[in-house]
Structure 1
């Protein structure tokens, strides 16, 4: 009786844990007709736009950009999107995403992002080198787009430079 009750509680615990497991998805939408959407976390390439990238657990300190052949491994010389996707464990400590043009990053193609499955329609896009929605210097923290939703996902897009 004791072992069957213990087994039942263990099974219930596993089901509850899996029902509340953290998961995030990154979708790439490359409208340029060239280049490779690239998602990197530290030294690892996580995705290259061949379908959505899914992760079970938080995605912290990731960067994304359209590799046009002119970008360095960490997006140097290109428009960069920086993100942390994580379920909040306290007020204000959930997900945050931004666009960066802080040197050595620079405008390369129109780029942007938008959240979905939470904070829908929140995001930013950058259509030229002077875009006000991007970091140009480290103190531009007002451009960060936070979201406090669980299991948040987002879409990254790149488009042809329409700035002229």
Structure 2
């Protein structure tokens, strides 16, 4: 009898833990008419960028860019957006994103990102290499736009 009650309590706790786990959706939209978006991970893994990617738990060190070939046959990567999802020690969740133009990254197409499912309306759009909100130097950590809403999602758009 006691073991049955213990099993029920354990099952209930496990269900609560699974239910409480953070999730984040990251979607890439290519409105450029050329190239393909790339979503890469911290350890060199790549995700299917033609579909919205689901991350169960933190998604550390993601990087997104548009891969394309220019008129001279050069393979280029457009404007980088670097989403980084963090789980803080106090169990609050935070997502922090920047658009970086730190060399070797350079501007080639308009790029933007926005949060949805929390912090709606927050994000950044850069339409030129002079985008002052973008990170132009590796010391500009203050250029990240953070959101503390739980389970927030991210949409990155090229040629927005």
RMSD of Structure 2 on Structure 1 (CA): 1.9
Q: Is the 8 A contact 1:87 1:150 kept in 2?
A: no
Partners of 1:88 and 1:95 within 8 A in 2: no
Partner in structure 1 of residue 119 of structure 2: 119
After superposition, the Cα gap between the structure-2 partners of 1:94 and 1:106, relative to the gap in structure 1 and judged at 3 Å, is same
Name stretches of at least 5 consecutive residues in structure 1 with no aligned partner. none
1:59-107 alpha-carbon deviations (Å, 9 max, x no partner): 1111001111423xxx5xx310011123444499721100000000000
Query: SS at 1:10's partner residue?
Result: helix
State the 1:6 CA deviation: 1.1
Secondary structure of residue in 1 paired with 2:15: helix
Secondary structure in 2 matching 1:18: helix
Cα 1:55–1:126 change in 2 (3 A) is same
SS of 1:68 mapped into structure 2: strand
TM-score normalised per structure 2: 0.88
Write the distance in 2 (CA, Å) between the matches of 1:101 and 1:47.
24
Residue of structure 1 equivalent to 2:72: none
Return the TM-score normalized by structure 1: 0.86
Structure 2 equivalent of residue 133 of structure 1:
133
Q: In structure 2, the residue corresponding to 1:27 is in which secondary structure?
A: strand
> Cα offset for 1:55?
1.0
The answer to whether the aligner puts 1:150 opposite 2:145 as a matched pair is no
Q: Report the Cα distance in structure 2 between the residues aligned to 1:119 and 1:29, rounded to whole angstroms.
A: 19
Alignment of 1:86-125 (within 5 A): 86-90=86-90, 94-125=94-125
Partner of residue 43, structure 1: 44
CA distance in 2, matches of 1:7, 1:137: 55
Shift of 1:51: 1.4
Which sections of structure 2, spanning at least 5 residues, go unmatched?
70-74
Change (3 A) 1:104 1:144: same
Count of residues in correspondence between the two structures: 154
Q: SS of the counterpart of 1:105?
A: coil
Provide the secondary structure at the position in 1 that maps to 2:138: coil
Q: 1:4-41, CA deviations, whole angstroms, 9 ceiling, x for partnerless residues?
A: 10111111011111110111000121111111111001
Task: Write the distance in 2 (CA, Å) between the matches of 1:64 and 1:40.
Answer: 6
Greater than 4 Å deviation, 4+ residue runs: none
CA distance in 1, matches of 2:62, 2:115: 15
